[in-house]
Amino acid sequence: MLPDLNRKSLIRMIVVGICAFVIFSYILIPFRITGFSMEPTYSDGSFNFTVTPYYWIFPMERFDVVTVRFSGTRVMLLKRIVAFAGETVAFENGYLVINGQKTAEPYISARQPWNLAPRTVKEGHVYVVGDNRNVPMKTHDFGQTPIHRITGAPLW
C-alpha cells in the first residue's frame, strides 16, 4: 500500500532522490569488479563502492587498495599502491623490489616470474599493480599513475 501523494510526501521523495543522487554519484560511487587482476583479494563480478573522500581524511599508504579513474568515473581500475614518488620499483622473478629491497606481499597467493628493470616513480605519481601475479606480466595493467587519478578506496 502506498502513502497518500500529498505535498509533504512529494517533498520528501524529492529530497531523498537528490540525496541519493549526490551520495551515489560523488561520495560512494558503486562499481562492479570485472577481470581477475586483483584476485584473490577481490573477485571478478563482485560489487563494491568507492569511498571518494577517504584520502581527504587519511594519507595514502603503501599497499592501500585504490580505485584509479581510467575514463571518468565510469571506467575505474582497482589496484594496490606499491611505491611513491622518488622510490625505485622493480620486479625480480615475480617479487616486488622497492629501493633495492625485496618486499613481502602477504596478499599474493601465486606468482609468475615477472621481471621489470628498476624505475623511479615520478613526482605527483604512485606506482600501482594488481594482486594477481599468477598471470603473465604483459596481460596486466600496472605502472605509474598520477595521484589526481586516484578516486578513493573501496568500501570493503
Does pLDDT of 77 surpass 70?
Answer: yes
Tell me what percent of the residues of the chain surpass a pLDDT of 90: 72
pLDDT at position 141 = 85
pLDDT at 73 over 70: no
Band (pLDDT 50/70/90 cuts) for residue 135 is confident
129-149: buried (b, 16+ CB within 10 Å) or exposed (e) per residue?
bbbbbebeeeebebebbeeeb
Q: For the whole model, what pTM was predicted? A: 0.86
Active site residues: 37, 79
Span 83-111, average pLDDT: 94
- Structural domain 28-154, CATH architecture: Ribbon (2.10)
pLDDT over threshold 90, residue 139: no
Classify burial at 78, counting beta carbons within 10 Å of its beta carbon; exposed 0-12, middle 13-18, buried 19 or more. Answer: buried
Instruction: Show me where the domains of the chain are located.
Output: 28-154
DSSP string, 78-112: EEEEEEETT-EEEEETTEEEETTEE---TT---B-
Instruction: Give the mean pLDDT of 23-32.
Output: 92
In which band, very low, low, confident or very high, does the pLDDT at 3 lie, cut at 50, 70 and 90?
Answer: low
